[in-house]
A and B are shown apart, each in its own frame.
Chain A
Amino acid sequence: MPAAQPAPLTLVPPAADAAPRTIVDVRNLTLTYQTTDQPVYALSDVSLSISKGDFISLIGPSGCGKTTLMRVVADLEQPTSGEVTVNGMTPEQARLKRAYGYVFQAPALYPWRTVERNVMLPLEIMGLPRAERQQRAREQLDLVGLSGFERKFPWQLSGGMQQRVSIARALAFNPDLLLMDEPFGALDEITRDHLNLQLTRLWLGTRKTCIFVTHSIAEAVFLSTRIVVMSPRPGRILDVIDCDRDLPRERTLDIRESPEFQRIAHRVREGLMEGHSYDD
C-alpha cells in the first residue's frame, strides 16, 4: 500500500499549530435516558476541551458513554443538560454546516452505490459539480490506498477495505473535525495495525482534529495526543493522559515496544481498572 501523502486539497499549513484553538468544548454535560424501570445515567457532568489538531481517544468499558459523548458532539443525540460547542457553534449548527465527518462502527456504505459513488455521497448532498465530485473521490480513495476499486460495489470488498472507503467518504468533503466510533473494532489484529498506521499518517498529513472511540489500549496510545479514560454508571471522565510529551508525533508500529509507550499504556490500564466495577 502506498504511503499516504498529504492530499493537496486537505493540507493545512503547520503554522496553525502555533496557537492551539479550541475546536470542541464540552461543559458539564449530562445525559440521562429514561427507561421503563429506572433512569440510565449515560453521561454525568462531563467536561472536555479539544484543541485544533488534537487526536483524542475516548477509552473505557461498554456503557461508559464514550460513544454517547461523541454522538452528542455530532448532534446525533440530545444532552439532558450542559453545553457543547463545536467550532464555536451549537452541535446542530455545526452539523448543518457539515463541520465534521463521522466514521461509524460499521462501514454504513450504501450497497446500491459503487465505492466511488459512496465517497461522492456527501459531495452530492453539498451540491458540488460532477467533475469535482469525481476528482475528490479519486483523491480520497487514493489516500486510503483503494485506487482501482472505484467501480466495485461495497459488498465486493473485504471488511477492512469497506471501513477504509467509509474513512475516505468522511474525508471527502474536507471537514476540520473527524469523529471515529470504533472504526476498526470488527477487524482482525493485523488489518487493524495496518489501518492504525495509515490513520496516523493520514492525520499527520491533514492535521485534522480527531476524536476516536476505542476499546483497545494499544490503539489509543499509538494514535493519540491525549487519551480520555472513562468509566460507566454513571458515565464520567476518570483521567486525561497526555501522550504528546513522551511519544513523537510521527509514529511507527515499533514504538509500541518502547518504555514510554508501555508506561502510558499502564496508566490507561490502571485508570480502566479503577473505574471497573465487579458487581456486574
Chain B
Amino acid sequence: MSRSTMARPTMARPIMAPWPLVMLAAPLLPFATSGGTDLYLPQIPAALALFALTVVTILSRRLPGSALGEALLLLAGVAAAYAAPLVLLRQGHALAQAGGLWLYLAGATLLLWRVLALLAGVSGPVRLAGPALFGLALVMLWEILTRGFQVPTILLPPPSLVLTAFAANAADLWDDFRQTVLISVLRGYLIGCGAGFLVAILADRVPFLARGLLPLGNLASAVPVVGIAPIMVMWFGFDWQSKAAVIVVMTVFPMLINTLAGLQSAERIQLDLMRSYGAGYWRTLAMLRLPCALPFLFNGLKINSTLALIGAIVAEFFGTPVVGMGFRISTQVARMNLDVVWATIAVAALTGSLLYGALALAERHVTAWHPSFRKR
C-alpha cells in the first residue's frame, strides 16, 4: 500500500489552502512583552528558530514523496509553533499582548488542519493518529491559552496543573474510583439493568403488567435525580447501597422499554416458524426473540452506562463515607482546589467513555450479523 502512495506523483495531493500563511504577518507584531516593553521576533532567538522551522516545513512540503511524509513534515512545523509559547513562558516573558505569537499559533493551527486532512486520506493504522492528534492539539491549546492569558486557575486550570494534581492525589483518586465505580456504579448498574430486563420479560409474559408498569416506570425515570438522591441516602444510608438505589431508579426504565421493544422486534414469519416446530414460549424466547432483541438490549446498556455514573456522583453529594468521586468534587470545590476537581472529572469522563466503548465493542462482536455491522 505504501509503495503505491510513494509512486503517486506529488501533484495528486490537494493543493494547500493559503490560510496557514497568515503567520507570515506575525513578525510585524510583538512576540512577547518583558518588563513592559514589546519584544519582536529577531530579539528572541528561540522564537526565531522555531518560527523559521515552521516556515521551512511549509516551503519544503512538496519534497516528501507521499501524503504521509508531508503530514509528518508539517506536523513538525505545527509542533514548533505549539512549543514556542511554552518556551517563552519558561523564559519569563508575558504573552497576553503578544499579537505576533498568537498569529503564529493561529497559522499553525490552520496548518494542523491540513495535517489531519492528509492523515485522513492515508490507509492503515496511521489513520488512527488523526483523532489522537486532534485531541492532543485541543489539550495543548488549552494549556497555552490558559497560561498565556493567565486565566485564574479557579476558573480553568491548565491541563499540566490537573495532571500534577492527578499525580499528587493518585491514592485518593484511586480510592474514589474504587468506591464510586467499582462498588456503587457496578452494583447499581447490574441490579438496575438486570431488574429492567427481568421485569420486561415478566411484562411480556403478562400483558396487564406491561400496561400497569410502563407508566410507573416512566414516572420513576422522570423523577429528578437530585430529588431522589437525598431520600435514598435517608433510606439506605451513606454507603454504596443508597448510590446503587439511585442508579437502579435511573436505569430500570430505559432497560425495560428497550428490552420490551426488542422482544417485539421478531418478525411474524420467524415466529410462525417457531410455532410450526411446536416450540413453546421459553424456547421461542431463547432461540428467536432474545437474539432479535440483542441490538435493543445493547442500546439500553449503553444509555445506562453513562446514566449510572452520573447518578452515583450526584448521589454522593448527599452523603458518603468520606470517599467517592462526588464527595471529592463537592469538598474540593468548597476548598477551591479546582485542579483536584478537574482531575476527578477527567477520571469520571474517562471511565464513562471506556465503559461505553467496551459495550460498543461487545455489541459489534455479539451482533455482527445485524445489518448495521454485517460485512459480506
Contact = CB atoms under 8 A, between A and B. Distances in A.
Interface of A: 74-76, 95-98, 100-102, 104-106, 108, 110-112, 121-122, 124-126, 153, 155-156
Contacts of B270: 108, 110
B365 interface: no
Interface of B: 267, 269-270, 272-279, 283, 287-288, 291, 294, 367, 369-371, 374, 376
Given A102-B273, A104-B273, A125 B279 contact: yes
A124 B279 CA distance: 11
Contacts of B274: 125
A101 B278 CA distance: 11
Contacts of A121: 277, 287
A106 B369 CA distance: 18
Given A104-B273, A121-B287, A155-B369, 18 more contacts: A75-B275, A76-B272, A76-B276, A95-B278, A98-B278, A102-B273, A104-B269, A104-B272, A108-B270, A108-B273, A111-B370, A111-B374, A112-B294, A112-B367, A112-B369, A121-B277, A124-B287, A156-B376
Contact of B267 (A108, A112, A125): A108
Contacts of B294: 112
Contacts of A106: 269
29 contacts: A75-B275, A95-B275, A98-B277, A100-B276, A101-B276, A102-B273, A102-B276, A104-B269, A104-B273, A105-B269, A106-B269, A108-B269, A108-B272, A108-B273, A110-B270, A110-B291, A111-B369, A111-B374, A121-B277, A121-B287, A124-B287, A125-B278, A125-B283, A125-B287, A153-B369, A153-B374, A155-B369, A155-B371, A156-B376
Contacts of B376: 155-156
Contacts of A98: 277-278
Contact of A74 (B276, B283, B371): B276
Contacts of B287: 121, 124-125
Contact of B277 (A110, A125, A153): A125
Given A104-B269, A105-B269, A76 B275 contact: yes
A110 B278 contact: no
Contacts of A156: 376
Nearest to A153: B369
Contacts of A105: 269
A156 B375 CA distance: 9
A111 B283 CA distance: 18
A56 B26 CA distance: 89
Nearest to A98: B278
